[in-house]
Amino acid sequence: MTPGLIVICGPTATGKSSVAMALAQRLGFPILSADSRQVYRAFDIGTAKPVQADQALVPHYLIDICDPTETLTVADYQQQAQSLIAQFHAQGQTPLLVGGTGLYIRSIVDGLKIPRVPPQLELRSQLQSQGQSQIYQWLQQIDPQSASKVHAHDQVRTLRALEVYYATGKPLSQQQGQDPPSYPILHIGLDFKDLDQRTAAIRQRTAAMLDQGWLAEVQTLIETYDPDLPLLNTLGYAEMTAYLQQHISLEQAEVQTIIHTRQFAKRQRTWFRANSAIHWFDSADSSLISQVWDYIQTQSWVQPINSGNNHQNLTDLC
């Protein structure tokens, strides 16, 4: 049988890690993280990074691979993930790609052709000083095809397209494309059908992170690095940093984190729902893991390595 890839994706706080752990133990396959913040060391609780006990049970990869002061580009992630997948395939294993960073997942399953141009901070600063209206006009002149796909007010994508052009001398649109892998891919999506259940899951996870010592983690990061560290301005960390700097109360920080997480989950949902290849499951279903397992068994190319554990009840693995 040809090894492939099992993708477990969906919005945040939908139980992807728990399902992946249960399946990985049953199948005997490793887990590759597809989370753009779990790649950074020391950002643990607030990113819902798998705990050491879980990592000891199942090999996890693409976690803690760079320092918070470094920048890991999508191209860097893609290169490392593709290399790992090739290694596992050579061993006859089908890894599980698990996470909610849609672009990371798409870079693998669609084989996106990504210009390997690292961030040009000085160039970006110079361009930003010209104003978004001006640089967007330049993009329209230099690369009209890319400009047509970028909103006039989207400074991040405008800067990136100009950055690639000035670094390589070629328009970004001429360097993009897809080269999908030839191996089979199974897409599994997790989400809550009920809006109240979605909100409750986010609220519970935020409270759990605080109980686990999230504030102490953020305080250590502030003291080790700097409050202006870009990663401390991301979801959850920005709110907790604001509390620790006495700008808002802890209650406000928690409420804002829940609201912003809901908004983020909505954007993730929109991204993943555009992929018709994803087979969706309700995260609130009590038989979720059994349903996912039954679905995986319909794929003849998925051959478990831990055949001796096949008698084990999946609920015991959660």
Six-digit token pair at 154?
């989207």
- The fold for domain 121-174 equals Histone, subunit A (1.10.20)
pLDDT in tens, 62-97: 999 999 999 899 999 999 999 999 999 999 999 999
If residue 281 lies in a helix (H) or strand (E), which one and from where to where? strand 279-282
pLDDT at 317 over 60: no
The predicted model scores a pTM of: 0.88
Read off the pLDDT of each residue in 187-195 and give the average, rounded to a whole number.
97
Is residue 48 within 8 A of residue 265, CB to CB? The reply is no
Q: What is the DSSP string of 123-171?
A: HHHHHHTT-HHHHHHHHHHH-HHHHTTS-TT-HHHHHHHHHHHHHHSS-
pLDDT at 306 over 80: no
pLDDT in tens, 87-124: 999 999 999 999 999 999 999 999 999 988 888 889 99
Read off the pLDDT of each residue in 13-26 and give the average, rounded to a whole number.
97
Domain 5-113+182-317 part of CATH 3.40.50.10540: no
Instruction: Look at residue 315 in the predicted model and tell me its pLDDT.
Output: 36
pLDDT in tens, 214-267: 999 999 999 999 899 999 999 999 999 999 999 999 999 999 999 999 999 999
> What is the Cα–Cα distance from 203 to 192, expressed in whole angstroms?
14
Q: Is 87 helix (H, G, I), strand (E, B) or coil?
A: helix
Six-digit token pair at 27?
């199948």
CA angle 88, 99, 25 (to 5 degrees): 50
pLDDT at 312 over 90: no
Query: What residue ranges of the chain are covered by domains with CATH 1.10.20.140?
Result: 121-174
Query: What residue ranges of the chain are covered by domains with CATH 3.40.50.300?
Result: 5-113+182-317
